[in-house]
Structure 1
Amino acid sequence: AFGGSVSTNAYDFALRLGCTRIVLLGQDLAFTGGQAHARGAVLEDRLNLKESRLFRRQLHNYNQLSALPVRWLPGIQGGQVRTNDKLIMFYQWFSRRIPQDVSDGIRVWNATTVGALIPHAEQLQLSYFESRSESRYKAALPNVQQVLQVIEQNSHPEDQINQNDFLSELRTLVEELRDYRSLLHQGVELAGEILAHVDASRFTEDYNARLKRMSELDEKVLSKPELSELLSTAIQGVIVRITENFQIESPVTDDGSRRANAIQTLELYQGLLNTTGDYMRGFRKVLMQSSL
C-alpha cells in the first residue's frame, strides 16, 4: 500500500488479512508537544548513539520541525495542530482510504488522544478496547486452535517445501544479487562523480556524459523487478532517510536542484547497495549452515 509509513502498510495488510475492525493508535500525525518523535520510540532512542558535544537531540528535533514549511490541521482536542507536508502525506492517505473502507462495511476507530483529527475514523479512548480485548481473546483462542488443527490434519507431504529445491533457488538468488550489487557499485561511484562535478560547477560534456550513463544504469536497475521487490522490505528506511534530509526550502536554483538530485541519487544507490549486502550475508549464512 503506497503511504510511505509502517502504519499505512499495517492498515492495508490488516484489510488483506480480512480484518473488519481496525483501531489506529499513536497516529497523531503532528509534532505533539513540539517533539518530532514520541519518547521511547526507536527513532528517538537512536539519538542516544548520535549525541555529541556538537550534535544534541534538541538540534535534531529542531531540524525535524524546521525542515519543511509548517502546516496546520484540525486537532482531536479542538483547535489546530502543527504538522508538515511529510506527515500530511500519511494524513491524506488515511483521509482517502478510510471513507472507502467504511462504505464497504469496515469499522475504523482512532484511539489516539492528541494530534490531527483523521476524518471518518470514530474517536474512542483506548480504555474502551482494553476492557473488552481480554475476554474476546479468551473466547477466540479455542477457534484459532481448531483452525490450526484442521490445517495440520489436511497438510500433505507434497505441499511442504523441498529443502534441496529451496537451497538451489537460494544459491541462484545469491548469484543474481551479486550481479545486481555490481550495478549498484557503479551507481554509487557514478553518483559521487556527478556530485563532485556539481560542487565544482563543472557542467561540461563530461558531466552530461555521466548523466546519460546514470540514466542507462537506472534503467538496468529497474529492469530487475524481482530483486527490487525483494529489497522493498528494507528500502523504506532508505526512503525515510532521504525524505528526512530533504530541505524543501533550499534555494530554488539550477545548482541547488542539481545538487539535491545528486545527493538523493547517491543515498538511494548506497542504501540499495547496503541492503543487498545484508541480504547476501544472510542468505550465505543459511547456505553455510545447511551444508554442516
Structure 2
Amino acid sequence: MLSKTVLISESSTHPAVFRNCRLPVFFFKSVFPLGKLIERHAGIVSELGAGGSVATTAWDFARRLGCPEIYAAGLDLGFPGKRTHCRTSLSSMYTQLRTNRRLSVDAVNFAGITNADPFLTENNSGGMTLTDNRLIIYKWWFEGQIKSAPKGCLYNLSKEGIKIDGMEFRGKTELLKKPVIRPGINSTIKERIDTAAEIYSKNGFNNIKKLVQTIITECSRLEKICSAAAVTLKELQTVSEQSTLQNGLKLLSEYDRQISDSPSKELTGFIIQPVLNEIIDEEKSMFENSGKLYCSILEACEYHRIHAERALSRMA
C-alpha cells in the first residue's frame, strides 16, 4: 500500500524512519538549528506551517499545492463517542500493549480524555462533542490560518468533529462523486520525483557529504578547544598570583571567542543552548559553570562527531 507513497518530512525526524524507509523523501524547512545547517547545503527552500500536529502540516501542504478543494478526514479534534482514537490506530494498539491487571484499557482511555480539562463544544452536526484544552488549540490554529490563507474550499468529513470556522462539513457521499483523477496525479508525482532525483544526484548528495565532513571537522576542532579550556580552567583554580590569573582568563576568553566564532554557528548554538539553560537555572561559581559548559560542549561534540562519522561511512 505504501509503495506509491511519498514521504514529506523535516530533517529532525528520527533517523530510523529514513533508514527503514524505501520511499521517495522530500524535506521541508526545519525549525531546528542543525536542520537549518543541512538546508543551507542541500538547497531546501520549501516551508510548511508547524502547528504541532501532523494534521496542521498536512493541511498547509495541501494549501501550498494550490488545491482548489481540501477535504479533511478524521479531523475531529475531540472525543466523539468518548473515544480517543479509532480502534485500529497505532495509539489504540499501543494502549493495549501498555495495559496490565492494574491498568486497564478503560483506565488509560479515561485518563486520556480527562487529564486536560475536557468540555463540550459544538460539532459539525449541530450537536456537542467532548474536547479538551489541548485539542482546542488546534481548532484555533486552523481558524487563524484559514483567515490568513488564500480563499479556497475547505471541508471537514467528520460529522461529530468539533466545528472549525471556515471549514464547512461535507459528507463522504459528495466527495465520492468527484471524478477519479488518481492516474493523472500519479503521473505528475512520478515526473516531479524523477526531476528532483536528477537534480539531487548532481548536487545534493555531494553537498550533504561535504556538510557531514564539515561537521566532523568542526566538532573535532571544538573538542580540542574545550579540552584545552577545561585544562586551563582547572589550573586557574589553584592560582593565587594575580598576573597569572589575568593571563589565564584572557586565554579562556580567546577559547570562548573561537567557540562563538565557529563557521557553523547553527551547530554550535544547537550544542551550547541546552547547557546555557541549565547554567542559568543554577547558582554556582564562575569556575563551576564554565567547567560544566566546556565539558558539556565537549561531550556533545563527541556525540555529534561519532554519528557524523557513521553517516559518512554509509555515504562511501
Task: State the TM-score, normalizing by the size of structure 1.
Answer: 0.57
> Which of 17, 21, 37 pairs up with 2:85?
37
Residue number in structure 2 paired with 1:61: 109
Please give the residue correspondences for 1:232-247 in structure 2 after superposition, counting only pairs within 5 Å.
Answer: none
Alignment-mate amino acid for residue 181 of structure 2: R
Question: 2: distance between equivalents of 1:168 and 1:114?
Answer: 52
Alignment-mate amino acid for residue 287 of structure 1: L
Instruction: Indicate how the Cα distance of structure 1 residues 180 and 124 shifts in structure 2: closer, same or farther if over 3 A, else same.
Output: closer
Please give the residue correspondences for 1:130-279 in structure 2 after superposition, counting only pairs within 5 Å.
Answer: 130-132=176-178, 135-144=180-189, 155=199, 159-162=203-206, 164-169=209-214, 171=216, 209=283
Deviation string, structure 1 residues 151-188 (Cα, Å, up to 9, x no partner): 678x5985453165244145358768799679758978
1:80 aligns with 2:128: yes
Residue number in structure 2 paired with 1:22: 70
Q: 3-state DSSP class of the match of 1:73?
A: strand
1:51 aligns with 2:125: no
Q: How many angstroms does 1:283 deviate by?
A: 4.7
Query: Is the 1:3–1:89 Cα contact (8 Å) retained in structure 2?
Result: no
Instruction: Indicate how the Cα distance of structure 1 residues 187 and 152 shifts in structure 2: closer, same or farther if over 3 A, else same.
Output: closer
Residue number in structure 1 paired with 2:162: 116
Question: 2: distance between equivalents of 1:162 and 1:82?
Answer: 52
Q: How many angstroms does 1:68 deviate by?
A: 2.4
Q: How many angstroms does 1:98 deviate by?
A: 1.9
Deviation string, structure 1 residues 126-154 (Cα, Å, up to 9, x no partner): 24334436x2112444455555666678x
Higher relative contact order (CA 8 A, sep 6+): 1
Instruction: Indicate how the Cα distance of structure 1 residues 144 and 48 shifts in structure 2: closer, same or farther if over 3 A, else same.
Output: closer
Q: How many angstroms does 1:34 deviate by?
A: 1.1
Q: Greater shift after overlay, 175-184 or 158-167?
A: 175-184
Question: 2: distance between equivalents of 1:174 and 1:33?
Answer: 53
> Which of 144, 147, 150 pairs up with 1:96?
144
Q: RMSD across aligned C-alpha pairs, in angstroms?
A: 4.2
Query: Is the 2:129–2:160 Cα contact (8 Å) retained in structure 1?
Result: no
Q: Greater shift after overlay, 24-33 or 68-77?
A: 68-77
Q: How many angstroms does 1:26 deviate by?
A: 0.6
Instruction: Indicate how the Cα distance of structure 1 residues 165 and 280 shifts in structure 2: closer, same or farther if over 3 A, else same.
Output: closer
1:286 aligns with 2:286: no
Q: 3-state DSSP class of the match of 1:162?
A: helix
Instruction: Indicate how the Cα distance of structure 1 residues 54 and 282 shifts in structure 2: closer, same or farther if over 3 A, else same.
Output: farther
Q: How many residues get paired? A: 212
Query: Is the 1:28–1:114 Cα contact (8 Å) retained in structure 2?
Result: yes
Alignment-mate amino acid for residue 315 of structure 2: S
1:8 aligns with 2:53: no
Instruction: Indicate how the Cα distance of structure 1 residues 167 and 186 shifts in structure 2: closer, same or farther if over 3 A, else same.
Output: closer
Query: Is the 1:174–1:283 Cα contact (8 Å) retained in structure 2?
Result: no
Question: 2: distance between equivalents of 1:63 and 1:140?
Answer: 42
Instruction: Indicate how the Cα distance of structure 1 residues 156 and 79 shifts in structure 2: closer, same or farther if over 3 A, else same.
Output: closer
- Report the structure number with the largest CA radius of gyration: 2
Identity value in percent: 19
Q: How many angstroms does 1:17 deviate by?
A: 3.7
Alignment-mate amino acid for residue 289 of structure 1: R
Query: Is the 1:30–1:82 Cα contact (8 Å) retained in structure 2?
Result: yes
Query: Is the 2:85–2:91 Cα contact (8 Å) retained in structure 1?
Result: yes
Deviation string, structure 1 residues 111-140 (Cα, Å, up to 9, x no partner): 11222122221221224334436x211244
Stretches of structure 2 lacking an aligned partner (at least 5 in a row): 1-48, 223-266
Instruction: Indicate how the Cα distance of structure 1 residues 29 and 161 shifts in structure 2: closer, same or farther if over 3 A, else same.
Output: same
Q: How many angstroms does 1:89 deviate by?
A: 0.4
Q: How many angstroms does 1:281 deviate by?
A: 7.8
**Structure number with higher helix proportion:** 1
Question: 2: distance between equivalents of 1:280 and 1:43?
Answer: 35
Instruction: Indicate how the Cα distance of structure 1 residues 160 and 62 shifts in structure 2: closer, same or farther if over 3 A, else same.
Output: closer
